């Protein structure tokens, strides 16, 4: 039985597996909690701006209580392992960027990984892969924040708290759509799914 911190275990249960990506998000969230001196967000006190949609985001949701549903998790598709966490009550924010290296895989371990992700691994290979991930993440957990991340206090204009909008009915599909997302098409209300895309490419 592996002895894991309770909040780390919770993140693994939410995410579905234990992996380095999740662990980065977990450690980034821990670093933010320490730097901002906060606890998990019950409502929308904390806001997280994440710059990738990888495994780590699930740990941010579990640890910080920043979720898409509450409107205090903002995703920017920048492809960076970067997390900006802000506290609405104090106006303090911190940006945490992954700068360290995830422990690389040996050629043999990489072969094993391919077999597992390709769906052709034996039960034995699956077990071996999980053990490797376990060891890699355990080493990450034992690494000081400063060796993994660049952590800087930032000045941040936080978005306003989530608003509740009126709904209107799309004239094309008959489904309800938030007013702020509705369009007009041939003079009639249209949802985005029913709107023909018009773009000049920028």
The residue ranges that bind Zn ion (CB under 5 A) are 19, 21-22, 55, 170, 172-173, 191, 194
Beta carbons of 140 and 24 less than 8 angstroms apart: yes
Minimum separation from the CB atom of position 8 to Zn ion (A): 13
Q: Of the candidates 5, 124, 14, which has an alpha carbon nearest to the alpha carbon of residue 65?
A: 14
Minimum separation from the CB atom of position 151 to Zn ion (A): 23
Q: Of the candidates 114, 147, 142, 141, which has an alpha carbon nearest to the alpha carbon of residue 129?
A: 114
How far, in Å, CA of 200 to CA of 202, rounded?
A: 6
Minimum separation from the CB atom of position 16 to Zn ion (A): 7
Query: Which run of H or of E encompasses 136?
Result: helix 123-141
- Residue 15 vs 88, nearer CB to Zn ion: 15
Q: What is the distance, to the nearest Å, from the Cα of residue 66 to the centroid of all Cα atoms in its chain?
A: 9
- Residue 19 vs 112, nearer CB to Zn ion: 19
Q: What is the distance, to the nearest Å, from the Cα of residue 85 to the centroid of all Cα atoms in its chain?
A: 12
- Residue 128 vs 168, nearer CB to Zn ion: 168
Minimum separation from the CB atom of position 133 to Zn ion (A): 9
- Residue 5 vs 16, nearer CB to Zn ion: 16
């Amino acid at each position: 039985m592996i002895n894991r911190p309770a909040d780390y275990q919770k993140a693994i249960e939410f995410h579905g597996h234990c992996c380095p990506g999740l662990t980065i998000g977990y450690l980034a969230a821990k670093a933010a909690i320490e730097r901002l001196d906060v606890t998990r967000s019950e409502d929308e006190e904390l806001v997280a701006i994440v710059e990738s949609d990888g495994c780590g985001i699930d740990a941010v949701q579990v640890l910080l209580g920043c979720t898409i549903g509450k409107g205090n998790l903002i995703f920017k598709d920048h492809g960076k392992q970067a997390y900006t966490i802000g506290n609405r009550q104090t106006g303090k924010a911190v940006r945490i960027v992954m700068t360290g290296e995830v422990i690389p895989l040996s050629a043999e371990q990489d072969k094993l990984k391919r077999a597992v992700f390709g769906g052709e691994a034996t039960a034995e290979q699956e077990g071996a892969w999980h053990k490797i991930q376990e060891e890699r993440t355990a080493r990450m957990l034992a690494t000081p924040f400063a060796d993994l991340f660049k952590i800087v206090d930032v000045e941040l204009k936080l978005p306003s708290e989530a608003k509740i909008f009126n709904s209107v009915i799309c004239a094309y599909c008959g489904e309800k759509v938030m007013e702020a997302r509705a369009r007009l098409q041939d003079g009639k209300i249209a949802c985005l799914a029913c709107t023909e895309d018009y773009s000049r490419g920028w």
